[in-house]
């Protein structure tokens, strides 16, 4: 597997240079550990949630191959349960035509091959997809056969004509004149069952080659049921939380500055160490390692030898070991390789040191359990062999279970007893092999392809029909606004355009090509605001205006006093004496704001906001935008950008979105963020392109383009901006549906009326957008008004007990990169990422498109697959339900008081998601896209290996071509019927809580 993993070409921020040790025999060990580290999730701290493909390390492999590795390594499922797909089939989210199309593509010429003269492979698999095939464990199977009428009646989905034919065949030659209809049917069913049973018993059972488990823990678990990881993790959770703490704990870990390994040795070698029986002798062993100055890598090598792990097993052992506790392991890894994302980072080599400590603990845990459970006191290196002899081998499906599969299909497909009896032993073998080859895993894979095929057809048919009409840019726009590509902004833009047809909207990645480390006026540390695959190159801070500096100092002092008092109160409440006193004396008072937050969230929030305004940062601030030093950095004169850099960033964004002429008097750059209370997953609702709020980026870009010196440089580059065009930065709060604007004190009097008119449009659009969102909340009635909907979403955001403040991008399925006028007035149900792009303004080599897609495809693919995997198996790929989550170390969440760090999205954020691999539709040509795929390895891996789907829309027509793996093929719409039409968005969604089809809206409709 290691040879296939192309981590040499991985993003550099996920890999550190390997510091070679002096011993040559350890070089290979260092490489294998680095290889294994690539498989860890790379999400980072929960304060800046990064949307990434959980299987990002395997993107060099085709999707279907990679998920099989993911099943083995992570233990999670890559597809929905089969029953869920059948629900989609019943609801027409999957149709028979979708299954047929997928099977024909999947099987190719093999689809119509005959299976022992009983029908084609295609018909056999279609039957297994359209009809539930019952199977279960041995106990379930025997209960089912004993307690149901499975051997007395045909399945309910067997047509009457087939029942009659099978009954007649079974009764041929029997004297049945006096038999009732029920007796005849029971006889026929039992005859068919006997034939299937005899046929299966006539073939040799398939021999399964057992997978040799490389971790001694796994073999011991199979042999005894005792799990050494339980012992190891109990100590690792506490120590990892203390080592990774970002200022949350009341006491610091002793000797943390020495690193993970040495601080562990110093702490646990002391007299009176852990009282656990299984850790007897640990202090002595740690003292030996410490006194002999054994390095972490040498300690790992010692542990491998003690555990009997040969060098040939390293490449399987280390991934399995790291992934056994992947939450904490990945966080320590990120603290090391992305130290810029952590106020308290970890030194280089932290993950190696973690491995050394873990293996020491594993040795002690395995030794203890081997002695207690196996009565084994031999060498630890022989434990796997000893435990293997104690494992009882379990066969796969029993003969009866295999016969029952065949028995069910025989009923549905009408295979008569006489036809089955005529089969030879070789034919029985071939038939059973064919049925078992289409396992539940394979059926779910095909179901998933069919679900994606269904949406793809709907989307491409709609785009083909919609783009046939004439389209052009808004002439003399009243105002212009650019949003993030986020799918939530699709509906907001649509409502703005419905309210104000003269408004022109654009979209770009929410960091607006301004990669910065940003520190707000009330922030303690810098935070990177850019896609996770990038490292910022600029630093920027927010400062009060000169006239408010004294006010800011007073407010900052008040904040510190309040914060210190709160901190001391919290620490005191955790002590025995003061905790009891505070609980008894102030417990009743503390319950008042708690109850108010739950019963009156909006009113309580208003009161709290009014009270807190006395120590919040002053309302008028400035960004440290212009740099005087030659190079960027953290020092005061190194903050910001040079004029040339500002001009370059501004030119890039304007050319990317295709805005080089036709400027309105006011242009808004809006980032986005989300606000909610008591929600550790809050940052997962912020901007995925920023891994945080995008307002500072939008604000900075607006200020750059308002600078007359920058405009002069742009004019020299053939990008003139009219003198009366004003840029305003701001952000859209996607939770409460509010829009906040920056630097309005710079707004000229001549533009006040234009601004107020645009602001009124935003307010009306916010009401409508809240109304559209509320149809997804079960707590909001379907007949709610727009004003009530706005109040409802505001209340959800401030409700202390609310676990679903919003659903984020939980409906994403499509990404359109092209001109807005091509898809304007098309209802897309908040499922579409959008990035503006005008192929007519690109260079001959499509340099602008290549630049756009280098960010858009990895970012949107990461968001899409994070939602995909977190929804198909929430407990493995996601963080499960958020109800038992507790924040730890200011880095992440654990279940209850102690667990591995939970990663991925919580179930409450994905429960309405329909897991689909994202469909990119790019307004370009196949030739341009093929060149981009060839030139950009990341895009090439994502598209060629089917982690996402790709189609191109011809810039001059409605013709679409779909990428098929090696090239593009013309798309022919499945339906020639015109698109459904509605007068407004509200008419499209009113009264529905489910996914909706594409619809044309507006005056034309």
Tens digits of residue pLDDT in 134-171: 887 777 778 888 888 888 999 999 999 999 999 999 88
CB atoms under 10 Å from CB of 412, counted, come to 18
Closest residue by Cα to residue 840 from 815, 856, 821, 819: 819
Pairwise CA distance, residues 782 & 789, whole Å = 10
Specify burial of residue 568 (Cβ count, 10 A radius: 0-12, 13-18, 19+): exposed
Among 368-372, 609-613, 668-672, 694-698, the minimum mean pLDDT is found in 609-613
Residues above pLDDT 70, as percent of the chain: 92
Angle at 568 between CA 564 and CA 572, to 5 degrees: 170
On average, the pLDDT of the chain sits at 90
Pairwise CA distance, residues 311 & 320, whole Å = 15
β 885-888/826-827 pair status: unpaired
**Residue 250: C-alpha distances to residues 58, 240, 345, 572, 997 (Å):** 40, 15, 18, 10, 54
Report the sign of the C-alpha dihedral through residues 832, 835, 840, 843, in that order: negative
Pairwise CA distance, residues 575 & 577, whole Å = 6
Written as six digits, the tokens of 186 are: 């029971």
Written as six digits, the tokens of 84 are: 């869920």
Position 852 confidence tier, pLDDT thresholds 50, 70, 90 = very high
**What does the pLDDT look like over 80-117, one tens digit per residue?**
999 999 999 999 999 999 999 999 999 999 999 999 99
**What does the pLDDT look like over 277-326, one tens digit per residue?**
999 999 999 999 999 999 999 999 999 999 999 999 999 999 999 999 99
Position 44 confidence tier, pLDDT thresholds 50, 70, 90 = confident
**Averaged pLDDT, 736-765:** 97
Pairwise CA distance, residues 761 & 697, whole Å = 23
Number of H helices, E strands in the chain: 35, 20
pLDDT of residue 143: 84
Q: Write out the H or E segment, with its range, that includes residue 836.
A: strand 832-836
Does the structure show a pLDDT above 60 at 894? yes
pLDDT of residue 710: 98
Contacts of 420 (CB under 8 A, 6+ apart): 192, 195, 196, 199, 410
Position 255 confidence tier, pLDDT thresholds 50, 70, 90 = very high
8 Å CB contact between 273 and 279: yes
pLDDT of residue 603: 78
Position 14 confidence tier, pLDDT thresholds 50, 70, 90 = very low
Q: Write out the H or E segment, with its range, that includes residue 82.
A: helix 82-90
**What does the pLDDT look like over 584-632, one tens digit per residue?**
666 666 677 777 777 777 777 777 777 676 767 778 899 999 999 999 9
**Averaged pLDDT, 552-579:** 70
Does the structure show a pLDDT above 60 at 395? no
**What does the pLDDT look like over 853-873, one tens digit per residue?**
999 999 999 999 999 999 999
**Averaged pLDDT, 931-959:** 97
Does the structure show a pLDDT above 70 at 419? yes
Angle at 183 between CA 181 and CA 188, to 5 degrees: 95
Written as six digits, the tokens of 350 are: 């932290």
Pairwise CA distance, residues 958 & 968, whole Å = 16
668 phi and psi angles, rounded to 5 deg: -105, 130
Does the structure show a pLDDT above 50 at 7? no
8 Å CB contact between 949 and 918: yes
3-class secondary structure, 188:
helix
8 Å CB contact between 191 and 170: yes
**Averaged pLDDT, 445-470:** 97
What is the pTM assigned to this prediction? 0.93
pLDDT of residue 19: 43
Report the b/e string of 49-65 with b at 16+ CB within 10 A. Answer: bbbbbbbbbbbbbebee
Please, how many CA atoms are within 13 Å of residue 409, restricted to the half-sphere of its CB? 25
**Averaged pLDDT, 720-735:** 97
Does the structure show a pLDDT above 70 at 567? no
Among 5-14, 178-187, 542-551, 594-603, the minimum mean pLDDT is found in 5-14
pLDDT of residue 537: 92
Written as six digits, the tokens of 122 are: 């295609």
8 Å CB contact between 601 and 594: no
Q: How many residues does the chain have?
A: 1005
Q: Which residues pair with 1001 in a beta bridge?
A: 982
Among 91-95, 203-207, 215-219, 505-509, the minimum mean pLDDT is found in 203-207
User: What is the dihedral angle through the alpha carbons of 651, 653, 656, 662, rounded to the nearest 10 degrees?
Assistant: -70
């Amino acid at each position: 597997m290691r040879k296939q993993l192309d981590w040499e070409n991985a993003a550099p921020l996920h890999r550190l240079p390997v510091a070679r040790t002096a011993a040559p025999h350890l070089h290979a060990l260092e490489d294998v550990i680095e290889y294994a580290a690539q498989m860890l999730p790379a999400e980072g701290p929960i304060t800046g949630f990064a949307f990434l493909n959980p299987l990002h390390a395997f993107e060099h492999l085709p999707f279907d191959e990679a998920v099989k590795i993911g099943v083995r390594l992570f233990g999670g499922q890559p597809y929905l349960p089969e029953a869920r797909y059948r629900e989609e089939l019943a609801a027409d989210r999957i149709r028979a035509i979708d299954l047929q199309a997928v099977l024909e593509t999947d099987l190719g010429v093999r689809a119509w091959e005959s299976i022992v003269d009983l029908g084609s492979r295609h018909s056999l698999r279609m039957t297994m997809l359209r009809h539930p095939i019952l199977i279960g464990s041995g106990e379930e199977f025997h209960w089912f056969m004993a307690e149901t009428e499975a051997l007395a009646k045909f399945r309910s989905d067997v047509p009457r004509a087939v029942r009659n034919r099978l009954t007649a065949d079974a009764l041929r030659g029997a004297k049945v004149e006096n038999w009732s209809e029920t007796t005849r049917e029971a006889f026929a069913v039992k005859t068919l069952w006997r034939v299937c049973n005899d046929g299966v018993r006539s073939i040799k059972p398939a021999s399964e080659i057992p997978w040799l488990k490389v971790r001694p823990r796994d073999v011991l678990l199979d042999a005894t049921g005792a799990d050494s990881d339980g012992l190891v993790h109990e100590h690792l959770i506490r120590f990892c939380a203390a080592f990774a703490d970002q200022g949350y704990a009341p006491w610091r870990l002793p000797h943390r500055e020495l690193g993970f390994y040495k601080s562990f040795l110093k702490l646990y070698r002391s007299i009176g160490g852990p009282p656990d029986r299984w850790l007897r002798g640990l202090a002595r062993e740690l003292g030996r390692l410490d006194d002999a100055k054994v390095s972490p890598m040498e300690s790992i090598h010692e542990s491998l030898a003690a555990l009997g792990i040969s060098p040939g097993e390293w490449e399987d052992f280390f991934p399995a070991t790291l992934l056994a506790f992947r939450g904490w392991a990945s966080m320590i890894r990120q603290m090391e390789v992305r130290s810029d994302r952590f106020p308290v980072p970890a030194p280089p080599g932290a993950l190696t040191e973690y491995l050394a400590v873990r293996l020491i603990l594993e040795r002690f845990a395995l030794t203890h359990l081997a002695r207690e459970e196996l009565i084994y006191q031999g060498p630890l290196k022989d434990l796997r062999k000893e435990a293997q002899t104690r494992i009882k081998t379990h066969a796969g499906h029993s003969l009866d279970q295999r016969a029952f599969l065949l028995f069910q299909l025989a009923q549905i497909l009408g295979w008569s007893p006489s036809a089955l009896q005529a089969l030879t032993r070789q034919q029985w073998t071939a038939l059973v092999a064919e049925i078992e080859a289409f396992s539940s895993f394979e059926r779910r894979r095909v179901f998933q392809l069919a679900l994606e095929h269904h949406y793809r057809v709907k989307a491409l048919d709609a785009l083909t029909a919609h783009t046939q009409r004439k389209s052009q840019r808004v002439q003399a726009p009243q105002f212009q606004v650019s949003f993030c590509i986020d799918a939530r902004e699709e509906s907001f833009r649509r409502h703005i355009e419905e309210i104000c047809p003269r408004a022109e909207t654009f979209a770009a990645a929410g960091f607006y090509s301004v990669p910065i480390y940003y520190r707000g006026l009330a922030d303690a540390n810098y935070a990177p605001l850019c896609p996770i695959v990038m490292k910022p190159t600029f630093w920027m801070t927010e400062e009060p205006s000169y006239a408010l500096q004294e006010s800011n100092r007073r407010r900052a002092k008040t904040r510190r006093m309040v914060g210190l008092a709160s901190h001391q109160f919290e620490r005191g409440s955790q002590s025995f004496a003061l905790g009891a006193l505070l609980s008894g004396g102030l417990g009743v008072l503390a319950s008042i704001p708690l109850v108010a937050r739950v019963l009156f969230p909006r009113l309580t929030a208003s009161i709290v906001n009014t009270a807190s305004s006395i120590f919040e940062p002053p309302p008028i601030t400035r960004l440290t935008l212009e740099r005087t030093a030659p190079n960027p950095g953290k020092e005061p004169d190194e903050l910001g950008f040079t004029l040339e850099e500002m001009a370059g960033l501004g030119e890039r964004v304007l050319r990317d979105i295709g805005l080089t002429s036709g400027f309105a008097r006011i242009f808004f750059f809006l980032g986005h963020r989300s606000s909610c209370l008591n929600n550790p997953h809050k940052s997962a609702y912020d901007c995925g392109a920023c891994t945080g709020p995008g307002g500072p980026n939008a604000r900075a870009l607006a200020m750059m383009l308002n600078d007359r010196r920058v405009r002069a440089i742009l004019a020299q580059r053939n990008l003139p901006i009219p003198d009366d065009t004003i840029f305003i930065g701001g952000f859209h709060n996607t939770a409460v549906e509010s829009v906040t604007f920056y630097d309005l004190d710079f707004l000229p009097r001549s533009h006040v009326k234009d601004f107020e008119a645009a602001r009124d449009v935003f307010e009306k659009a916010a009401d409508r957008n809240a109304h559209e969102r509320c149809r997804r909340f079960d707590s909001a009635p379907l007949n709610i008004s727009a004003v009530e909907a706005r109040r409802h979403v505001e209340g959800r955001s401030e409700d202390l007990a609310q676990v679903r403040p919003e659903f984020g991008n939980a409906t994403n399925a499509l990404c359109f990169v092209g001109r807005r006028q091509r898809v304007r007035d098309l209802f897309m149900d908040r499922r579409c990422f959008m990035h503006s792009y005008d192929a007519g303004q690109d260079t001959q080599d499509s340099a602008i498109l290549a630049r756009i897609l280098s960010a858009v495809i990895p970012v949107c693919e990461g968001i899409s697959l994070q939602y995909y995997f977190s929804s198909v198996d929430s407990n493995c790929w996601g963080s499960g339900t958020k109800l038992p989550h507790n924040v730890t170390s200011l880095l992440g969440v654990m279940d209850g008081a102690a667990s591995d760090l939970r990663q991925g999205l919580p179930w409450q954020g994905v429960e309405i998601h329909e897991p689909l691999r994202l469909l990119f539709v790019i307004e370009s040509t196949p030739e341009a896209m093929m060149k981009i795929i060839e030139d950009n390895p990341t895009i090439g891996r994502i598209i060629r290996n089917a982690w996402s789907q790709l189609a191109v829309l011809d810039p001059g027509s409605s013709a679409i071509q779909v990428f098929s793996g090696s090239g593009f093929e013309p798309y022919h719409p499945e339906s020639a019927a015109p698109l459904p039409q509605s007068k407004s968005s509200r008419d499209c969604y009113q009264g529905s809580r489910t996914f909706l089809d594409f619809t044309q809206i507006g005056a034309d409709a």
